[in-house]
Amino acid sequence: MLMDEREIFKDQKFVASFAKLKPEQRHQDDQKPKPQNEEKKASRLFPDSTLFKSWGKTLSEEDQKEAQALFEKYGYNVFLSDRLPLNRSLPDTREAKCMSKKYPKELPSIAVVLIYLDEALSIIKRAIHSIVDRTPGHLLKEIILVDDNSSNDDLKKDLEVYVKSIEAQNPGLQIIIVKHTESLGLAQARNSGFRAATADVVAILDAHIEVHKEWAEPLLTRIKENRTVVVSPVFDRVNYYDLEVVRYPPSAHAFDWALWCMYESFRPEWYNHKDPSLPGTSPSVMGILVVDRKFLGEIGGLDGGMKVYGGENVELGIRIWLCGGSIEIIPCSKIAHIERRHKPYLPNLSLAVKRNALRAAEIWMDEYKSNVNLAWNIPIKDHGIDIGDVSERKSLREKLKCRPFKWYLDNVYPQLETWENIVAYGGNVDANRCIDQGPVPGHTPIAYECYYYGPQHTYYTSKGELYIGGIKSHKYNDNRCLADSGEDSVPDLYNCKEAVKKGMGILWSFTQGKELKNRKTKRCLEVMEHNLVIQNCTSQTWEIQNIIRSF
């Protein structure tokens, strides 16, 4: 039992016994002198730390310091993890119909690959323990640990000792440790695990997971039915602060044009079946995937040219669909996954994701590849970002006779907006002031010193709309349009459809280096004394950073 659970239990016993006392007895203890050595209640040393927002209220000051230091190092609660049993039980969060499903005994063998870089030892041990305990022994052929050049001492000898003890307890199970002599990033670490595997099926997982019971059988059954289907379990969230499991419903793994991952609803036909235990198709994979080992080799493994983190899973997802495979989420397979508060090995993820996104776009996205540039607000040409040599991957695409990316947009991910009407983008500048979305929530754009981050990203369409503060990647969302109500001198910023309903003018006449005039009110957007105003035109001019085509 954990420390704070003990305290709660003691408090409950005290309240129960206190309630039985007569009123005159309830305050007797108040008259007694307090013991000299009674412990003072520990003060909260880190009131702003998210680690302690709902956990650790009874920790001593010394324990708080240790817990916070470990949290800063790892991004999740290692202090608590080190005190939890390795074989802790997990709540069964599967859909009700999953409980009664039966799976064939004769299924493909599975190799489980765990990728890590300076992960906490107790977290890795618990992952291994859950895999061994909750995977049928006749199916689990090997566990492969891929160490992407960790520096933690306990991930050397201590981990090896633990691995040997697990092997001794499970004759026939092999646990392989693959060590990189330099950090190569997630894609190459996963490739190392894939190459070391010999089982029929490879499950590539993070090391900060715990598998639920019957996690493997539904995945292996689906792959046995169709070896070209790449499958993924449903991830439950493990809170980084208290390590409690939070149920997540089945969802598709999707992305935006910046190639950031996201959860998304399945296609409508999945919900029409009214059976949440059925597999659902998915545009991509989050990074945790289970696949026929030979099929993954046939389509080129993972792109070893991807760096550090991000984008490599979306690249693989697109490639699977374009090159003869498909992706499904299997609701009856559940894995509990810790969502870190931060990734200590890469404080700024955007740099790697941006670079990897441009690489994936160059190889797979054909005429739509410039949408990645738009999403990141970087020039289409001469952006100065080295995406590495892509010739080998382009040759692979030709060899596999993969479909064009337009097929993917039409048949796999029609929710993705194509942005074919965007003619210019970037910061919209008058002298040294940029149009800025202003305070959010709010509907009043402002003129602000140019810094060209998200709030100042603008997009001009062939229709004459001007989106401010970014652009939405999906058809089910609406952009925010610069608008003129015609009623005052203050410009407005509303979702485009809402602005039209309000009778506002959202279409603007604009030529590079000329005025920006509203077509409905015939008034111009201008800057007066550092303020953004709508007024009669005075020949004030604007420029937008990047031109896609003439307008």
Once rounded to an integer, what is the mean pLDDT over residues 229-245?
Answer: 98
Q: Model confidence over 376-435: pLDDT tens digits?
A: 999 998 899 999 999 999 999 999 999 999 999 999 999 999 999 999 999 888 877 899
Place of tokens 């048949």: 411
Judged against a pLDDT cut of 70, whether residue 185 lies above it is answered with: yes
Task: Give the pLDDT score at 345.
Answer: 66
How many helices and strands in the chain, by DSSP H and E?
16, 24
Task: Give the pLDDT score at 347.
Answer: 62
Q: How far is CA 247 from CA 52, 209, 234, 238, 336, in A?
A: 22, 14, 9, 9, 9
Q: Which two tokens stand for residue 399?
A: 């060899």
The reply to whether 128 and 212 lie within a common domain is yes
Q: Please give the mean pLDDT across all residues of the chain.
A: 91
The reply to whether 366 and 430 lie within a common domain is no
User: Has residue 84 been placed in a domain?
Assistant: no
481 burial type by CB count under 10 A (0-12 exposed, 13-18 middle, 19+ buried) = buried
Judged against a pLDDT cut of 70, whether residue 300 lies above it is answered with: yes
At a CB cut-off of 8 Å and minimum separation 6, what does 385 contact?
Answer: 354, 355, 358, 378
238 beta partners: 245, 338
User: Has residue 4 been placed in a domain?
Assistant: no
CATH, residue 385: 1.10.8.460
The reply to whether 319 and 459 lie within a common domain is no
Q: Model confidence over 102-153: pLDDT tens digits?
A: 999 999 999 999 999 999 999 999 999 999 999 999 999 999 999 999 999 9
* Structure-derived torsion over alpha carbons of residues 470, 473, 478, 483, reported in degrees to the nearest 10: 30
The reply to whether 228 and 126 lie within a common domain is yes
Domain count along the chain: 3
Q: Model confidence over 15-68: pLDDT tens digits?
A: 334 334 443 343 334 444 444 444 456 799 999 999 999 999 999 999 999 999
Place of tokens 């925010």: 480
User: Has residue 48 been placed in a domain?
Assistant: no
pLDDT band of residue 261 (cuts 50, 70, 90) is: very high
Q: Indicate the length of the chain as a whole number.
A: 551
Q: Model confidence over 441-460: pLDDT tens digits?
A: 999 999 999 998 999 999 99
The reply to whether 320 and 364 lie within a common domain is no
Identify residue 501 by its one-letter amino acid code.
K
The reply to whether 245 and 307 lie within a common domain is yes
The reply to whether 376 and 297 lie within a common domain is no
User: Has residue 301 been placed in a domain?
Assistant: yes
Q: How far is CA 219 from CA 113, 214, 253, in A?
A: 15, 9, 16
218 sits in which H/E element: helix 216-225
Task: Give the pLDDT score at 40.
Answer: 58
User: Has residue 450 been placed in a domain?
Assistant: yes
User: Has residue 88 been placed in a domain?
Assistant: no
The reply to whether 430 and 393 lie within a common domain is no
pLDDT band of residue 1 (cuts 50, 70, 90) is: very low
Least confident of 94-108, 338-352, 450-464: 338-352
Task: Give the pLDDT score at 309.
Answer: 81
475 burial type by CB count under 10 A (0-12 exposed, 13-18 middle, 19+ buried) = exposed
The reply to whether 129 and 227 lie within a common domain is yes
CATH, residue 117: 3.90.550.10
20 versus 217: which is more confidently predicted?
217
23 versus 310: which is more confidently predicted?
310
Task: Give the pLDDT score at 17.
Answer: 40
Q: Model confidence over 494-530: pLDDT tens digits?
A: 999 999 999 999 999 999 999 999 999 999 999 999 9
Q: How far is CA 524 from the centre of its chain?
A: 41
User: Has residue 56 been placed in a domain?
Assistant: no
The reply to whether 267 and 221 lie within a common domain is yes
Residue 289: give the domain boundaries: 96-338
Structural domain ending residue among the three candidates 338, 373, 395: 338
347 versus 26: which is more confidently predicted?
347
User: Has residue 1 been placed in a domain?
Assistant: no
Q: Which two tokens stand for residue 425?
A: 């983008």
The reply to whether 331 and 210 lie within a common domain is yes
Judged against a pLDDT cut of 50, whether residue 533 lies above it is answered with: yes
Task: Give the pLDDT score at 429.
Answer: 84
The reply to whether 175 and 309 lie within a common domain is yes
DSSP letter for 228, please.
T
